Structure 1
């Protein structure tokens, strides 16, 4: 079996030094520098990649991605040339590397043949595409999501040592990709579903451009995995309990609790919540521009929020990072007493059967959401703010008004966010009937 390995010459006097590739198989053993320099102290020979500990600009990760792509390119070209009877030699390897470095990533020829060449091209062009239904340019986040999916497809190719051709995408590819994303990447079902959705978008665009594609991607068997999430929220009684709990004045818990209360009664995303300033509060309203949708939002100030502002003499709680707020509100929930066990998903480190941390292809520890029974306070994150806001107001005021504040674009998106149970819906209906028929009691005689 042919193998591809990267290494550096440790005995070389030069530092930084060249990365070499060695391609070895039956009847050949080739080695040549690949034209990329690396500092000796930054190279990890066991992982055959550059360490990314201090990769502040993402440059080292880009090089590691190049190594993955080069490995896949060598194997793919070998499979083709060996079948054609072409001699595999150091000269062959050098020519392949030269072509690899000088070939544009969005090469139109490649994009007509290979899936990831097309998906990269599609993702790059998405930054300037217009949504047909809205007439607006696609959001930057959407283009990034396409690129992330394209990167996962490239990782899958590297794992298989084979580049996928556009016309070869079938149910076998679909099944193997899902298995890879589950067992190697350890991704959740909804994340995998998003990648499959984007794969379908790539294939639709392929078909629209007149290229040959297997129509099986339209079949229901080419499904996108999904899993109904069991996210928690705070009902109004629980919010009141948090509001009335006495923390040490101006402590980190007191500060985090106040941000939490403002969050559950504004429905703002945490990035927008923590960017609030005093000037956003005017005449009983909060005027804020939604960071994600860039849509101006006006929210009536809730009485609890007014109490917090009065307590702080008109000031907002101390500024805090998203990460710290995410951690501290768990402490708040534990102190208030939300210790009951509930079903939900918690972000946890993935370990093997020996308790050893599993690493991704970049050598980083893998963390994924794991479903199970946990203390409620363990599951509290900043997302609980918007979820509680939307759930508590749902059925009390019209859905469109809530959506204008939360920034949900469709009712389908909004309803998936609501966490009211079937029993709670029934209780609300019962309360509505009791109130209605009490008011109409004089008419209720037979």
Structure 2
């Protein structure tokens, strides 16, 4: 049997009216009803009495502020209406209590709050109001979402980014919100500022923090389109980014590749990694696509040997003709599959043995959590799978038309491609001069015309 009482806890002109639901001797629940009253208009059931409650976490009895049980005084019409409303709330909660208990439902503070919200016609929180639930919905619908190229389907990389974003939000909830779910409607300027500070305290880079804010906006705008309640401040949320200083572009020149080819290696794992490294510099693919190449990808078209593959990031089918050096690697036995992590580890060892050790200043990742740091180290320490695609693009730039190179590397625009290989304004000028020199020179020899003297003036 449940007992319901109403009470106030202050002497102010706008005191909150609380409901006290006693489920049993050891369970008493309190929640605000959403109604206010001037304490002078409150009629106590008894003299002011301090109610003691048990603090389960500290295992001792403490005394809370004075709680005055009672009802609104009856004189003014608005107070009569308020008492009628509270009596109605009491009756509805008692009825809901009986139904819930009969169905075996656990009565908690959240249950009580839900009944009050229903009574006050407040919009109930639905599953998709929860930020992490909506992120998961967005991930589940990735194959049908429009991407930046106006095509259907988000890339694997984008989906992975969203999964990491969801995990970051879950960690934020656990560390700052006692595990309580964040609602989409609560994503406002104040929330973004707190989230941003937390991310920086986790030692994330400026650009990573900016991407998280971009993801928040993407999810919230999508929710808005689907009639989920969002903050009115959503359009005022701004992302952040860091202006990049020109960075050292790490590539392997053809001379360095020759040194790697001739290096004396004894471990089978390093010999295999060297094959992947040299092949990668000749076909210009991302590490994940490179290491998935098998004999099935090697085809012959009109007497020409090619590697044909579908790029995982772009979903684009590309065919790369095999140079004699690439054919030599394949014909000596296609390297066996290894993980990207192992590949990155082994090729550093390969390049160290090959004495690719000139001092280079570039960004290097210290840990998975920390931002990149700029350090000067021997070049082999900066070698990763990324060097394959970048070396291909750099070494063949100016020798092969840029659109053809872009088709192989999978770059969307020439601007991105040129930034990728570290191309400068002066490089463009030198290349243009080289093309000018190949143009047929115009004949500028003066043409003289002989005029005969006729003797006339």
Verify same fold: TM over 0.5: yes
> Shift of residue 439 of structure 1?
5.3
Q: Deviations over 1:117-163 (max 9, x none)?
A: 43343333445445496342334543443233133223222222264
Measure how far apart 1:326 and its partner are. 1.0
Alignment of 1:11-410 (within 5 A): 28-30=54-56, 95=108, 109-111=125-127, 113-131=129-147, 134-161=150-177, 163-184=181-202, 186-219=203-236, 222-226=238-242, 228=244, 230=247, 232-248=249-265, 251-281=268-298, 282=300, 283-309=304-330, 312=332, 315-349=333-367, 366=369, 369-409=372-412
- The alignment's C-alpha RMSD in Å is 3.8
> Partners in 2 of 1:236 and 1:279 — Cα distance?
29
Match of 1:429 in 2: 429
3-state secondary structure, aligned to 1:349: coil
Structure 2: distance between partners of 1:286 and 1:222: 44
Contact 1:289 1:295 (8 Å CA) reproduced: yes
Listed one character per residue, the Cα deviations across residues 199-244 of structure 1 (whole Å, up to 9, x for unaligned) are 110121133234443454434x611334638363325344444355
Give the 3-state SS of the residue equivalent to 1:381 in structure 2. Answer: coil
- TM-score by length of structure 1 reads 0.62
1:363 is matched with which residue? none
Q: Which segment drifts farther, 156-165 or 262-271?
A: 156-165
Structure 2: which 5+ residue stretches go unaligned? 1-51, 58-104, 113-122, 447-457
Distance 1:215 1:397, change over 3 A: farther
Residues 65-93 of structure 1: CA deviation (Å, up to 9, x unaligned): xxxxxxxxxxxxxxxxxxxxxxxxxxx99
Distance change (3 Å), C-alpha of 1:398 and 1:367:
same
Q: Tell me the TM-score normalised to structure 2 length.
A: 0.61
Q: Which moved more, 1:369-378 or 1:247-256?
A: 247-256
Note if contact 2:249-2:421 (Cα within 8 Å) is conserved in structure 1.
yes
SS in structure 1 opposite 2:357?
coil
**Which has the higher mean CA deviation after the structures are superposed, 195-204 or 333-342?**
333-342
Query: Residues 123 and 144 of structure 1 are in contact (CA less than 8 Å); yes or no, is this contact kept in structure 2?
Result: no
Q: 1:247 to 1:255 in 2, by over 3 A?
A: farther
| Higher gyration radius (CA) | 2
Q: Closer, same or farther in 2 for the Cα pair 1:181/1:109, shift >3 Å?
A: same
Report the CA distance between 1:28 and its aligned residue.
4.3
Q: Give, in whole Å, the separation in 2 of the partners of 1:217 and 1:191.
A: 20
Give 1:382 shift.
Answer: 0.7
Report deviation, 1:108.
8.6
Quote the Cα distance in structure 2 between the aligned partners of 1:237 and 1:147: 39
**Is the CA contact 2:185–2:229 (under 8 Å) kept in the aligned structure 1?**
yes
1:420 paired to 2:422: yes
